[in-house]
């Protein structure tokens, strides 16, 4: 078709983008790039919901070296037809040439999912994986079976049942269900949920490298038996420096040395800690607990350890592997890959290592020697050097003990807090609006609440500073905690000050209870007055 033929079509149908695309192509074939560029610059913005139109504009822009415009057109085509492999591939090529590895990686993976027979896309993706150190993924895309170097083995390795039992008791999590790691259709590592119980056969396959498994550490009651800190090079930083092997080696060295700082700080406090190289450029620091502990306590323990550790001084990604991960607006269970197996991404084995990065000769022997951390050790660590600042005077301790003896509700709540359990909001209100009004109230609260898994010293001080003038009343306690007060005996005997109200603090000092305003209703004053000499069976509606 000649240029005049196309121009006559445009006169007939001026808003049809395909006519303008045909004209630009014809000019380009005739070597008139200037006119082709002019058409693209003016007519590429014609509205169209046809993805082919935007794809053709993108191809024209590519031929003329207009990379930004080509990218915009391909992105519009993908928005209209997200499952077209050709569109994703063309965009991946653009990003690859530009060195935008992260975006190129994402569109290459999508291309392979949609078009597994695209060998060029697989070749490009394999080269990116190889640069990232993910040789296992690269070999999989190339169709190669990764072979391990042959070494003579006089004594054959056989995993024993008792070794398996110990491993499973150490890496214990959800009772039913575990994860299996595999290479997905797009060439990346994925994990799938297995609805079963991990046993000898699975552990044996994992250690032999035949399969790679993971554990879901978080149980339904939100407790766990181990926690892990993962230190790694941020993903974007890794991709930006994919061709700079020297920089990546230096970054891995930073990862290793910061991990050593965490370990040194834990050991300084007598905390047992274990160091792992999971087969790539990251490190994992492991803590094993003697019993299942609340998730909040584990998070507080790890956060406190990081707070006490000197900053890495460089940009590192540090996260906790606790069995869950953000998913949109919520959270979902997420497995933790077991040590001693094969990292499917790199094809390398995961080892426990010493401070120099050298794997221990007998990995199973090391695992057998792992010492688990007791709850008391965690509590002592959390108290740390700030313990002196939380000491309470003898008079304040006497006041606290008297309240516990006289008020069964407070005694119950304080016992629960000191046992290391999390208080409900109602229980926290009762504690804050009684103990907070005592002399050294902030320190008393720190002393009582420090064993709670969600305890934060600064948060306690902040809440104490916001307390108003009125302590909580006995009727309000009954209203907030009807289940608890229903079975606890309430035989309190104290004199209620005139124009005051019943409160546990009357056991300590009547002056702690402010007088009611004179403008209060007369019948309410008489109601309280009737209870001045003996508080027994007070109704919930009598709120101080």
Q: What pTM did the predictor assign?
A: 0.60
Q: Which phi and psi angles does 454 have, rounded to 5°?
A: -100, 15
Residue 178 pLDDT: 92
Q: State which of 348, 376, 404 marks the end of a domain.
A: 376
Residues 233 and 248 sit within 8 Å (Cβ to Cβ):
yes
pLDDT, averaged across the chain: 81
Residues 444 and 435 sit within 8 Å (Cβ to Cβ):
yes
% of residues, the chain, pLDDT over 90:
15
- pLDDT at residue 531 greater than cutoff 60: no
pLDDT level of residue 289 (50, 70, 90 thresholds) = very high
Residue 149 pLDDT: 45
| Same domain (yes/no): 243, 367 | yes
Per the model's pLDDT, the better-predicted residue between 461 and 148 turns out to be 461
pLDDT level of residue 532 (50, 70, 90 thresholds) = very low
How do residues 75-110 score in pLDDT, each as one tens digit? Answer: 888 988 988 888 898 888 888 888 777 788 888 888
pLDDT level of residue 337 (50, 70, 90 thresholds) = very high
Domains identified in the chain, total number: 3
| Same domain (yes/no): 213, 114 | no
CATH number of the CATH domain containing 221: 3.90.920
| Same domain (yes/no): 356, 212 | yes
| Same domain (yes/no): 59, 111 | yes
SS3 of residue 512 by DSSP: helix
Segment (H or E) for 225: strand 223-232
Residues 224-230: what's their mean pLDDT? 93
- pLDDT at residue 154 greater than cutoff 70: no
**d(C-alpha 54, C-alpha 76), whole Å:** 6
Q: State which of 94, 109, 142 marks the end of a domain.
A: 142
What six digits make up the tokens of 528? 């309280």
C-alpha 530, offset from chain centre: 56
**d(C-alpha 45, C-alpha 43), whole Å:** 5
Residues 412 and 344 sit within 8 Å (Cβ to Cβ):
no
Please identify which residue in the block is written with the tokens 């007088």: 515
Virtual torsion, Cα 103, 105, 106, 109, nearest 10 deg: 160
Is 39 inside a domain boundary? yes
Q: State which of 114, 142, 170 marks the end of a domain.
A: 142
**d(C-alpha 430, C-alpha 439), whole Å:** 17
Domain of residue 370, residue span: 161-376
Residues 215 and 201 sit within 8 Å (Cβ to Cβ):
no
CATH number of the CATH domain containing 119: 1.25.40.10
How do residues 473-490 score in pLDDT, each as one tens digit? Answer: 888 998 898 888 888 877
| Same domain (yes/no): 288, 433 | no
Residues 27 and 63 sit within 8 Å (Cβ to Cβ):
no
- pLDDT at residue 459 greater than cutoff 90: no
- pLDDT at residue 11 greater than cutoff 70: yes
How do residues 157-180 score in pLDDT, each as one tens digit? Answer: 567 777 788 888 888 888 899 999
């Amino acid at each position: 078709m000649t240029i005049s033929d196309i121009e006559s079509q445009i006169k007939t149908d001026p808003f049809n983008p395909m006519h303008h695309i045909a004209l630009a192509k014809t000019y380009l074939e005739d070597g008139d790039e200037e006119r082709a560029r002019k058409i693209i610059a003016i007519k590429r913005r014609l509205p169209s919901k046809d993805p082919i139109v935007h794809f053709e504009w993108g191809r024209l822009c590519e031929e003329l070296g207009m990379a930004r415009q080509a990218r915009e057109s391909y992105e519009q085509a993908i928005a209209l037809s997200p499952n077209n492999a050709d569109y994703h591939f063309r965009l991946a090529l653009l990003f690859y040439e530009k060195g935008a590895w992260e975006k190129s990686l994402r569109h290459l993976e999508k291309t392979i999912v949609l078009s597994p027979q695209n060998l060029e896309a697989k070749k490009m993706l394999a080269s990116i994986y190889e640069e990232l150190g993910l040789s296992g993924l690269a070999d999989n895309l190339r169709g190669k079976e990764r072979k391990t170097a042959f070494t003579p083995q006089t004594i054959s390795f056989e995993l024993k049942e008792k070794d398996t039992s110990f491993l499973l008791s150490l890496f214990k999590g959800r009772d039913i269900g575990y994860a299996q790691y595999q290479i997905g259709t797009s060439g990346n590592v994925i994990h799938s949920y297995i609805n079963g119980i991990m046993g000898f056969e699975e552990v044996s396959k994992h250690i032999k490298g035949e399969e790679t498994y993971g554990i879901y550490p978080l149980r339904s009651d939100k407790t766990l038996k181990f926690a892990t800190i993962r230190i790694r090079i941020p993903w974007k930083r890794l991709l930006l420096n994919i061709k700079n092997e020297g920089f990546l080696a230096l970054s891995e060295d930073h990862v290793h040395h910061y991990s050593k700082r965490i370990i040194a700080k834990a050991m300084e406090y007598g905390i047992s800690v274990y160091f792992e190289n999971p087969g790539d450029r990251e490190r994992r620091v492991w803590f094993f607990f003697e019993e299942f502990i609340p998730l909040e306590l584990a998070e507080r323990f790890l956060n406190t350890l990081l707070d006490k550790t000197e900053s890495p001084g460089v940009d590192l990604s540090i996260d906790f592997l606790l069995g869950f991960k953000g998913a949109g607006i919520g959270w979902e269970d997420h497995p933790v890959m077991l040590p001693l197996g094969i990292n499917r991404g790199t094809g390398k084995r995961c080892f426990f290592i010493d401070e120099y990065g050298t794997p221990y000769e007998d990995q199973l022997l090391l695992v057998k020697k792992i010492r688990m951390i007791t709850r008391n050790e965690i509590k002592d660590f959390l108290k740390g050097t700030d313990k002196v600042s939380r000491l309470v005077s003898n008079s304040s301790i006497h006041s606290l003990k008297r309240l516990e003896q006289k008020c069964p509700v407070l005694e119950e709540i304080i016992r629960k807090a000191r046992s290391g359990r999390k208080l409900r909001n109602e229980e926290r209100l009762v504690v804050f609006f009684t103990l907070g009004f005592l002399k050294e109230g902030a320190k008393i609260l720190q002393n009582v609440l420090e064993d709670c898994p969600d305890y934060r010293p600064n948060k306690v001080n902040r809440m104490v500073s916001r307390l108003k003038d009125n302590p909580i009343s006995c009727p309000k306690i009954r209203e907030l905690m009807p289940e608890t007060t229903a079975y606890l005996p309430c035989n309190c005997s104290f004199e209620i000050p005139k124009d005051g109200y019943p409160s546990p603090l009357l056991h300590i000092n009547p002056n702690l209870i402010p007088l009611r305003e004179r403008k209060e209703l007369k019948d309410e004053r008489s109601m309280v007055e009737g209870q001045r000499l003996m508080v027994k069976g007070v109704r919930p509606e009598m709120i101080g």
